[in-house]
Amino acid sequence: MRWNLLGMGILMILLVSVASAASPWQQEKPQVGDGKPSFENAERGFQKAKEWFNQTRQKIEEARKQAEEKRFEAWKKHLQAWVEMAKRWVERVQMRVQNMNVGNETKERLMNKLQEIENRLNEIEDEINASQNYTELREVAMEIKGMWGELRQEMRSAAHEYVIEKYDQILERLIQVRDRLEAAGVDVSELDAKISEIEEAVDELESYVGTPEFAEKVREVNQLFREAFEIVKELAREARPEYHTGFVYAHVNGSFELSGNFSMVQIKGEGNVTIPEEVIVTKVDTPGVKMIVAKSNFTASGQGEFRILAHGSGELVLNGEGYYRVKQTPTGPVTDEIEFEGSETVTFG
């Protein structure tokens, strides 16, 4: 019995010690009462705990708002950086367009489009700076995404149109070479067929502007041009003309008058031509081909659309619009294409 009472005493001492020890989390809590069990103490303890809870929740909310504000500012700076990059990109493209060897109409259209884009970028930049929340910023970001896609498509189409315009220029030079070879007496039927094939391919290429298939079609057109130039090389070996005087090559839509002493003249096109019969060497008048080859001292005139090639010395008066290339003297250089509109007089030889 005595040992049982002693054991119970020890047990009571341990329980009291455990009950009086505070856990680590309890040590951080505010004191809630004087230890006396009563409703007032319990209410006071609850209110203090509630106040502590509200304080910690407020700190969490403040921390969250600070984090959101930092993210918002970071996104705003990111979009501002995009606008700056886009502006510099437009500036770079403008410089390239200025240096492009394309017609004034195409160049003006591209520059106007780039100016529209630059103006819109300035508006977007103002919208970004004025945005106050994620919703406004998100709307601007969606607009940027759509605009970037549109911008890339526009520039892709512009680049494709530039390629087609260059092809038209190369094709025109190829036709000039064909005419000169034909005037020299070379059979150009194979080259004619290849030129027709190229014309069809370039016309078809226009329907692929702005599409992913454009690059593949370009490779096909390039191959056709390579084949045409190989034909030209072979024909040039047969011709090898020697120019002892000057010459002129002109394309006119309107009228012309050619006078002088010529070793060879070729007139091709659609319209009415007046020329002395005795100077005509060859005359072709078939569907799709109308050509006169002549030589000697004479004057010829015409009304319509023509390509004129003349070797010798004389004067060519052009009225309407078109272009010409001329070699003024036997030893002088051949000019680049000179465009004209109205009346133009060219002397040579």
pLDDT computed for residue 320 by the predictor: 95
* Claim: this prediction has a pTM higher than 0.85: no
- CA distance linking residue 198 with residue 76, whole number of Å: 52
**Going by C-beta distance under 8 Å and a sequence separation of 6 or more, which residues neighbour residue 240?**
none
Residues of the chain below pLDDT 50: 1-6, 10-11, 13-28
> Closest Cα partner for 139 from 209, 197, 79, 193?
79
Contact 189, 173 (CB under 8 A): no
**Amino acid 289: pLDDT:** 73
179: closest CA among 266, 120, 253?
266
Q: Please give the Cα distance from 212 to 156 (Å, whole number).
A: 10
Tens of pLDDT, residues 289-335: 789 999 889 999 999 999 999 999 999 999 999 999 998 887 788 88
Strand ranges, E, within the chain = 246-274, 280-286, 289-327, 338-348
266/268 Cα distance (integer angstroms): 7
Write down the pLDDT at residue 5. 45
Using CA atoms, how far apart are residues 285 and 292, in angstroms rounded to an integer? 9
